[in-house]
């Protein structure tokens, strides 16, 4: 009888075959418009462990899609990921964090990973960042998020500016009040916001830089139109101090450590009274 060994062919990011999906009862309902895609989330080191030490494998049930939504690429959203698989027939897929399942390792004995499509090294790194983002999301002051999301709707303006160029812009990074945990109570007591739009270098550097610059202009215009009082020359609620564009190769580690990713699902702490914010 076959056994699970350290020589298992399974790796994180591998796709299950249609046969394995059906046999293990992971297929989406027949009325679902797209076919089922199931990806292995468990890390390689844990996959290599014998079943008596690590008995289950975590997978995520997703579906095929016809196009990528820019707000869901590059792990910009912690709940939904759009990613591309390479192969003779490239595959676009959507995964939702809440669709994680656990299956017994022994149930996969006898099945091989899908060989027609696979993640590129960049695609796998994106998948890993997305898995980690579920448990390591940036927390911003609740009052700041209330102003940005519900009061001014500027969060939607940011998402709209980035969405069109989703594959070219890899991250939207925020620095609020230079990292200080401040609770501001009146519109005149403004949060100071710095934004960096991090663009890709892989596809086409010039195209990506141009896309980020276009997004920058749209974001700056939206903030100024909504929150800058021309008569008084003062900001209300949130002051956009700057919005800069950098390539993912030009950003220093120090810059990255001082900024926090703005996830495009707009999650707040939602606590009353507001709790202390942990530094990432």
Tell whether the model's pLDDT for residue 241 goes beyond 60. yes
Tell whether the model's pLDDT for residue 280 goes beyond 70. no
pTM of the complete model: 0.62
Task: Write down the domain spans for the chain.
Answer: 18-133, 142-261
Q: For the segment 139-188, what is each residue's pLDDT rounded down to a tens digit?
A: 788 899 999 999 999 999 998 898 877 778 888 999 999 888 788 889 89
- Dump strand ranges (E) for the chain: 36-40, 56-64, 80-87, 91-104, 117-118, 169-176, 191-199, 228-229, 234-235, 238-247, 260-261
142-261 CATH choice from 3.30.300, 3.40.1350, 3.40.50, 3.30.1460: 3.30.300
Name the average pLDDT for the chain: 86
Tell whether the model's pLDDT for residue 59 goes beyond 80. yes
- The closest of 238, 70, 242, 73 to 161, measured between CA atoms, is 70
Whether the Cβ atoms of residue 148 and residue 240 lie closer than 8 Å to each other: no
56, with CB counted inside 10 A (0-12, 13-18, 19+), is middle
Give the pLDDT band (50/70/90) at residue 31. low
**What phi, psi does 244 have (nearest 5°)?**
-105, 160
SS3 189: coil
- The residue-averaged pLDDT of 5-29 equals 91
- The closest of 209, 31, 20, 10 to 118, measured between CA atoms, is 10
The region of weakest confidence among 173-177, 231-235, 268-272 is 268-272
Tell whether the model's pLDDT for residue 267 goes beyond 60. no
The region of weakest confidence among 55-69, 187-201, 262-276 is 262-276
What pLDDT shows up at residue 194?
A: 94
What pLDDT shows up at residue 165?
A: 78
Q: What are the contacts of 84-90 at 24+ separation with CB within 8 A?
A: 84/120, 84/123, 85/15, 85/117, 85/118, 85/119, 85/123, 86/117, 86/118, 86/119, 86/120, 86/123, 87/116, 87/117, 87/118, 88/116, 89/116, 89/117, 90/117
């Amino acid at each position: 009888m076959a056994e699970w060994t350290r020589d298992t062919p399974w790796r994180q990011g591998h796709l299950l075959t249609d046969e394995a999906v059906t046999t293990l009862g992971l297929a989406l309902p027949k009325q679902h418009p797209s076919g089922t895609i199931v990806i292995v989330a468990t890390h390689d080191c844990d996959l290599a462990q014998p079943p008596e030490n690590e008995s289950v494998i975590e997978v995520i049930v997703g579906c095929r899609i016809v196009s990528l939504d820019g707000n869901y690429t590059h792990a910009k959203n912690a709940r939904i990921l759009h990613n591309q698989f390479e192969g003779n027939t490239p595959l676009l897929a959507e995964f939702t964090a809440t669709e994680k399942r656990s299956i017994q390792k022994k149930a996969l004995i006898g099945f091989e990973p899908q060989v027609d499509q696979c993640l590129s090294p960049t695609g796998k790194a994106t998948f890993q960042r997305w898995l980690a983002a579920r448990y390591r999301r940036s927390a911003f002051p609740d009052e700041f998020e209330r102003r940005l999301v519900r009061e001014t709707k500027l969060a939607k303006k940011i998402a709209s500016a980035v969405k069109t160029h989703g594959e070219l812009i890899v991250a939207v990074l925020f620095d609020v009040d230079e990292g200080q945990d401040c609770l501001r109570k009146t519109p005149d007591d403004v949060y100071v916001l710095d934004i960096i739009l991090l663009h890709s270098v892989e596809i086409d550097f010039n195209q990506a830089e141009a896309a980020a610059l276009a997004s920058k202009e749209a974001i700056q215009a939206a903030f100024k139109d909504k929150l800058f009082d021309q008569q008084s020359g003062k900001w209300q609620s949130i002051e956009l101090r700057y919005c800069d564009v950098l390539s993912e190769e030009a950003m220093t580690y120090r810059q990255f450590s001082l900024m926090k990713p703005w996830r495009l699902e707009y999650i707040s702490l939602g606590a009353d009274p507001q709790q202390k914010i942990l530094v990432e």
